[in-house]
Structure 1
């Protein structure tokens, strides 16, 4: 049975969207993947879409979602670094990745964030596969 995981940040417009893209591509066999934000935002950041498409992960259909748009109960909650208090969502495992938001910076910052998130998602998938989570 797949573990329900949600990646959460403030706007669901960059880091959590990148994590959702990687988790679906790399971990779809063990994860049921969601992402959400704590505040409304109009679109996924173009830089996030661009850098994911550079590595073959299509995100053009992604859009920002709120916590109310994802399941109320999860197995795993990953917060990306919330700036303020991270949200409480019932789950059996949670962790904060504390990643800086590259928004507003050069595209290289988006690439660095993309690669950091990929490594963290790969580690998460391994831990799920090994039943550590």
Structure 2
């Protein structure tokens, strides 16, 4: 049975979207993946879409979602380091990845964030596979 994981940020427009794409790719056999934001936003940041396309992951059909768009309870809740306290969302395990938001900066910042998220998702997949989560 797959573990449900939700990546949550403020706008669900960059970091949580990249994490969702990586987790769906790297953990497709063991994870059921969602992402959401605490506030509505009009688009996924073009820089995030661009840098994920560079590594072969297409996020062109992604759109920002709210917490109300994901399951009411998840196994694993990952916050992205948004500097705000997310509302309580029922989960079995929660952690914060403390990632800087590259929005508004150069494309290289998006690439750095993309690569950090990949490493963190690879670690998450390994821990779930090992039965640690």
* Both proteins in one fold, TM over 0.5: yes
Structure 2: distance between partners of 1:13 and 1:32: 20
What's the Cα RMSD here?
0.5
Deviation at 1:84, TM superposition (A): 1.6
Deviation at 1:83, TM superposition (A): 1.4
Q: State the number of aligned residues.
A: 133
1:5-47 Cα deviation digits (max 9, x unpaired):
0000000000000000000011010000000000000000000
User: What is aligned with 1:68?
Assistant: 68
Q: Secondary structure at the match of 2:103?
A: coil
Structure 2: distance between partners of 1:86 and 1:31: 22
Structure 1: distance between partners of 2:86 and 2:100: 14
Q: Secondary structure at the match of 2:74?
A: coil
User: What is aligned with 1:114?
Assistant: 114
Whether 1:29 and 2:47 are equivalent positions in the alignment is no
Structure 1: distance between partners of 2:70 and 2:82: 18
Mapping for residues 1-133 of structure 1, pairs under 5 Å? 1-133=1-133
Deviation at 1:87, TM superposition (A): 2.4
* Unpaired stretches in structure 2, ≥5 consecutive residues: none
Deviation at 1:82, TM superposition (A): 2.1
TM-score, normalisation: structure 1: 0.99
Q: Secondary structure at the match of 2:22?
A: helix
Structure 2: distance between partners of 1:93 and 1:52: 27
